[in-house]
């Protein structure tokens, strides 16, 4: 499997009079220089500094195939050669991932002393080794997600249909992989892997979100799950659900605080219907059902059934007490 670093270039035009190419190139160089100075960037290195979205696209597709070889692998794959394909694909993908991890670690540590390079290389190898050995558990988690989708959707005729057709499964495959990378300390790679699924499915799951077994997103378009969301087991979401932040805390200078818990915690066996917006560090109790288009900014106890009508009635009751 070849993992290209850049896509092929289109041959340049033979008619350079159509546009002032040299001036455009010079202007772009000036703007880049101004940006880098404003961002207090170090002088640009002679080789690539940041991970490649194209390489990570190839890696993510290879990992999808290795996890589900006869469903998401190559069309001509047969059971007799399944293990060979998985081994070959993983070896290639993990070596490519190692290179991307090194790029992120080197970029993050670019202000460290020169003698830190060997330590970063060892750290990269440790990260990829840990990620690789965690793939069987990721597959087990994904099996529970596929089963939840099959059991939760009366239109699903087989688990194979789930894997081949459901955008929610593609999104959760990417999330399980991205979350593992996030936990291992390469958040940029994790974010790229997550955003590949976002672009493909319309489902936006931050790699930092913690999601339990048996997770099912039905239909899926427009779902947003924030970085610090915690989702229990056997949770089901429908399209256009948002698990977001209610506010963003800032410091004395107006800069945003990063990493603070700001997204909901959702208990086990919760169902959240289409268009619901749940904001802030609130808790949705186990076994609750949140109705369509509900706007919720406060915690609800286990077993709650929240609809627009019940929220209006609760608001009216509170206003009269």
> What local confidence, expressed as pLDDT, does residue 173 receive?
98
CA distance 133 to 25: 46
Instruction: Please state the domain count of the chain.
Output: 2
In this structure, the answer to whether residues 142 and 233 fall within a common structural domain is no
> What local confidence, expressed as pLDDT, does residue 1 receive?
45
Range of the domain at 183: 47-197
The first and second tokens of residue 74, run together, are 């190559």
Q: Provide the whole-model pTM.
A: 0.88
For the chain, 321 residues long, give each residue's pLDDT as a single digit of tens: 445 455 555 555 556 678 888 999 999 999 999 988 888 776 666 567 899 999 999 999 999 999 999 999 999 999 999 999 999 999 999 999 999 999 999 988 875 655 566 799 999 999 999 999 999 999 999 999 999 999 999 999 999 999 999 999 999 999 999 999 999 999 999 999 999 999 999 999 999 999 999 999 999 999 999 999 999 999 999 999 999 999 888 888 888 888 899 999 999 999 999 999 999 999 999 999 999 999 999 999 999 999 998 888 777 777 777
In this structure, the answer to whether residues 56 and 191 fall within a common structural domain is yes
In this structure, the answer to whether residues 75 and 168 fall within a common structural domain is yes
Task: Report yes or no on 23 lying in a domain.
Answer: no
In this structure, the answer to whether residues 227 and 184 fall within a common structural domain is no
> What local confidence, expressed as pLDDT, does residue 300 receive?
97
In this structure, the answer to whether residues 54 and 190 fall within a common structural domain is yes
Task: Report yes or no on 214 lying in a domain.
Answer: no
> What local confidence, expressed as pLDDT, does residue 258 receive?
83
In this structure, the answer to whether residues 274 and 185 fall within a common structural domain is no
Q: What are phi and psi of 225, to 5 degrees?
A: -125, 120
Could you please report the per-residue DSSP string of 12-79? PPS-GGGS-HHHHHHHHHHHHHHHHHHTTPPPPPSS--S--HHHHHHHHHHHHHHHSHHHHS-TT--G
In this structure, the answer to whether residues 99 and 241 fall within a common structural domain is no
In this structure, the answer to whether residues 52 and 170 fall within a common structural domain is yes
């Amino acid at each position: 499997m070849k993992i290209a670093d850049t896509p092929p270039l289109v041959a340049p035009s033979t008619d350079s009079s159509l546009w002032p190419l040299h001036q455009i190139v010079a202007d772009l160089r000036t703007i880049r220089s101004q940006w880098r100075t404003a961002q207090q960037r170090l002088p640009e290195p002679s080789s690539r500094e940041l991970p490649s979205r194209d390489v990570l696209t190839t890696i993510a597709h290879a990992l999808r195939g290795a996890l589900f070889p006869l469903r998401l692998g190559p069309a001509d794959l047969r059971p007799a050669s399944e293990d060979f394909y998985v081994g070959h694909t993983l070896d290639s993908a993990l070596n490519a991932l190692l290179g991307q991890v090194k790029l992120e670690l080197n970029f993050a540590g670019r202000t460290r002393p020169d003698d830190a390079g060997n330590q970063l290389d060892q750290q990269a190898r440790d990260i990829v080794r840990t990620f690789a050995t965690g793939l069987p558990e990721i597959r087990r988690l994904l099996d529970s997600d596929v089963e939840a989708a099959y059991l939760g959707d009366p239109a699903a005729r087989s688990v194979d249909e789930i894997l081949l057709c459901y955008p929610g499964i593609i999104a959760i495959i990417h999330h399980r992989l991205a979350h593992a990378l996030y936990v291992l300390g390469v958040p940029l790679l994790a974010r790229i892997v997550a955003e590949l699924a976002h672009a493909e499915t319309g489902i936006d799951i931050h790699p930092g979100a913690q999601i339990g077994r048996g997770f099912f997103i039905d239909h899926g378009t427009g779902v947003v799950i924030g970085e610090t969301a915690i989702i229990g087991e056997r949770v089901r979401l429908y399209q256009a659900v948002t698990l977001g932040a209610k506010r963003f805390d800032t410091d004395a200078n107006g800069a945003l605080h990063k990493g603070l818990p700001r997204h909901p915690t959702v208990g086990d066996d919760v169902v959240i219907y289409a268009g619901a917006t749940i904001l802030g560090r609130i808790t949705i109790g186990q076994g609750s059902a949140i109705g369509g288009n509900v706007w919720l900014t406060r915690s609800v106890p286990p077993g709650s059934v929240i609809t627009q009508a019940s929220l209006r009635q609760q608001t009216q009751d509170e206003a009269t007490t």
